[in-house]
Chains A and B, each alone.
Chain A
Amino acid sequence: MTEPIIKPDVMRISWGPQHPMSGQTRILLDVDGEKVHKIIADLGFTHRGIEKILENRSFFQGIIPIERMVMADTTNIGMGYVSAIEKALNIEVPERAKWIRSLMCEMSRINSHLYAFGLQAEATGYFPAVFLWTTVDRTILLDLFEELTGARWSYNFILPGGVHKDFPEGFQAKLIKGVEYLRRRFEDYWEAMVENAVFEARCNGLAVLKPEDAIRLGATGPVLRGSGIPMDTRKDDPYAAYPDLDFDVITEPACDVMARTKVRYREIGESLKIMEQVANEIPEGPISTKTSFFVRSKPAEVMSRVETARGELGIHMYTEAAPNPYRVKINSPTLRNMYVFERLAELDEILMADIPVVINSIDPWYLDSDR
């Protein structure tokens, strides 16, 4: 990207992509001493043209590249794409398949939130403990995923028409066991990290995003809910089995980095609740309707919205009489939140030392924003 002209009185720092905390992006910071005057996000280092790739793949084959958009949260992304396909092709999904989908979406959400939570700890310099604890605890979820789908990272388990396979034997008991274990572990996180005096000093009152600003700038997901606005696509535009499931939309009134961290923490609790419900109350029945691998669609235009761990993902799909979509527009949540991050320097005073904390509070995933 071409850089705007540097003002002579301010130092411009290129923060990333080789920076230890930046991820695959570059952020230009205009700093005066420690104070950040302006943030310029330079995205696109991981642009792979997924929207173009999807135009050249059949509906089933497209699931694999699109799941690579967010590796920690593959099921939610795949869920959005598959539900768009189902709407375009008018495929009915059996009830049990919907419940299994919800279960996988929630497990995926916990997985992603745990990662974000650990990175938040690392961004404040709390490297030793919490990041590795979350990594260990994510292994529980990965083991459950492996038991169910056979893969540990990208599952392509949700297919048009249902899900790939039913629960293996004794899987419900393992789910309950995993949920109980994670519940026990989260007490440690709360006491060691969220209630930690130094962590509170770092995160309280930092980067305040007022509710009206959050709406105006198009924030989504935990960033929006951390500003106290109860918007959640799972409630607003229900998909899968969410109408039948009992869960709350988490909001925090404080609007700062701590509020976003707490939203993630408490959303994990809600997801665990959903996991427990699915393990106990899942209805019996078929798990998929037969769909041909090379299914052809009719001309249609559909829009599917799902709540991923980072916010609302919109898939706007145009189809015509062909085995592949005509055009897929992906409204990715990270791109929306990155704009909020860029504007945060104008809304609140941010110091150089706060940049990693603030950027991890919006939980960026640059593969998602760059697509």
Chain B
Amino acid sequence: MSLLKKILKPFLVVAPYVLRNGQTVAYPTERPMFSERFRGRHRLRLDACISCGMCARVCPCNSIQLVEVPGMEKKFPQIDYQTCSFCGYCVNNCPKSSLVFTDLVEFATTDRKTLVYSPQRLMEVPDIKDVVPMLKYRTEKYLTDTEKKFRRVKEV
């Protein structure tokens, strides 16, 4: 009898899942919203940077270099995202908070040289709509409403 229960019970558990909705985020049309502390691409505020070089010294992956910027006297950090591990040491140890994280994660490119971001490129963060043109919805996270389909939170 218990064997029969062990054969039939899994059916009753699994079968309702077929009627549930998938939990997949259909990426180019949907994109999850990240939290405030999310470590995505950096943004550099050139006016606040004092060129102390702390970020380059603390970087465990040696992906930060100080380079010259045309038209400026000082040197500014250039980040190589081929090796960056997004550990956040540079952001934490920045004395003037001139390096901050954004929630941009779209790094895909056809040339790996373009993954080396110069200070000028680090300065401006592109709009998400320009990076992912097919994006229609930003979705909320699982924890808020797991059992249902993601509510479309806000249209981009």
Give residues of chain B (51-85) contacting chain A, Cβ–Cβ below 8 Å.
Answer: 57-58, 60-61, 85
Contact call B39/A150, Cβ cutoff below 8 A: yes
Q: Does B27 contact A (CB under 8 A)?
A: no
Give residues of chain B (1-59) contacting chain A, Cβ–Cβ below 8 Å.
Answer: 3, 6-7, 9-10, 13-14, 17, 23, 34-39, 57-58
Contact call A196/B6, Cβ cutoff below 8 A: yes
Tell me the complex Cα distance, A64–B61, Å.
Answer: 9
Tell me the complex Cα distance, A148–B38, Å.
Answer: 9
Contact call B141/A143, Cβ cutoff below 8 A: yes
Contact with B along A67-81 (1 / 0, CB 8 A): 000000000000000
Q: Does B128 contact A (CB under 8 A)?
A: no
Q: How many residues of B are in contact with the other chain, CB < 8 A? A: 31
Can you identify 9 A-B contacts, CB atoms within 8 angstroms? A64-B60, A150-B39, A150-B88, A151-B88, A154-B85, A168-B35, A177-B143, A191-B10, A192-B9
Q: Does B86 contact A (CB under 8 A)?
A: yes
Q: How many A-B residue pairs have CB under 8 A?
A: 84
Contact call B60/A65, Cβ cutoff below 8 A: yes
Tell me the complex Cα distance, A63–B36, Å.
Answer: 23
Q: A21 to nearest B CB, angstroms? A: 22
Contact call B143/A129, Cβ cutoff below 8 A: no
Contact call B58/A129, Cβ cutoff below 8 A: no
Tell me the complex Cα distance, A65–B85, Å.
Answer: 10
Contact with A along B140-153 (1 / 0, CB 8 A): 01110010000000
Q: Does B125 contact A (CB under 8 A)?
A: no
**Do A191 and B143 contact each other (CB < 8 Å), given the known contacts A146-B35, A156-B88?**
no
Contact call B58/A60, Cβ cutoff below 8 A: yes
Q: Does B87 contact A (CB under 8 A)?
A: yes
Contact call B38/A150, Cβ cutoff below 8 A: yes
Contact call B7/A197, Cβ cutoff below 8 A: yes
Q: Does A181 contact B (CB under 8 A)?
A: yes
What residues on B are CB-neighbors of A236 within 8 Å?
Answer: none
Q: A175 to nearest B CB, angstroms? A: 10
Contact call B146/A188, Cβ cutoff below 8 A: no
What residues on A are CB-neighbors of B38 within 8 Å?
Answer: 146, 150-151
Q: A181 to nearest B CB, angstroms? A: 6
What residues on A are CB-neighbors of B35 within 8 Å?
Answer: 143, 146-147, 150, 168
Contact of B36 among A65, A168, A197, A293 (CB under 8 A): A168
Main DSSP-derived SS at the A contact region: helix
Q: Which residues of A contact B (CB under 8 A)?
A: 57, 60-65, 129, 136, 139-140, 143-144, 146-151, 154, 156, 164-165, 168, 174, 177-178, 181, 188, 191-193, 195-197, 200, 293-294
Q: Does B114 contact A (CB under 8 A)?
A: no
Tell me the complex Cα distance, A136–B25, Å.
Answer: 11
What residues on A are CB-neighbors of B6 within 8 Å?
Answer: 195-197, 200
Contact call B13/A293, Cβ cutoff below 8 A: no
Contact call B39/A151, Cβ cutoff below 8 A: yes
Tell me the complex Cα distance, A136–B93, Å.
Answer: 35
What residues on B are CB-neighbors of A144 within 8 Å?
Answer: 143
**Do A140 and B143 contact each other (CB < 8 Å), given the known contacts A154-B85, A168-B36?**
yes
What residues on A are CB-neighbors of B17 within 8 Å?
Answer: 129
Contact call A61/B14, Cβ cutoff below 8 A: no
Name the CB-closest residue of A to B35: A147
Name the CB-closest residue of A to B37: A150
**Do A191 and B13 contact each other (CB < 8 Å), given the known contacts A64-B60, A177-B143?**
yes
Tell me the complex Cα distance, A195–B13, Å.
Answer: 11
Tell me the complex Cα distance, A63–B92, Å.
Answer: 15
Contact call B146/A140, Cβ cutoff below 8 A: yes
Q: B54 to nearest A CB, angstroms? A: 9
Contact of B34 among A61, A65, A146 (CB under 8 A): A146
**Do A195 and B9 contact each other (CB < 8 Å), given the known contacts A139-B23, A146-B38, A149-B37?**
yes
What residues on B are CB-neighbors of A294 within 8 Å?
Answer: 57
Tell me the complex Cα distance, A57–B57, Å.
Answer: 12
Tell me the complex Cα distance, A65–B39, Å.
Answer: 18
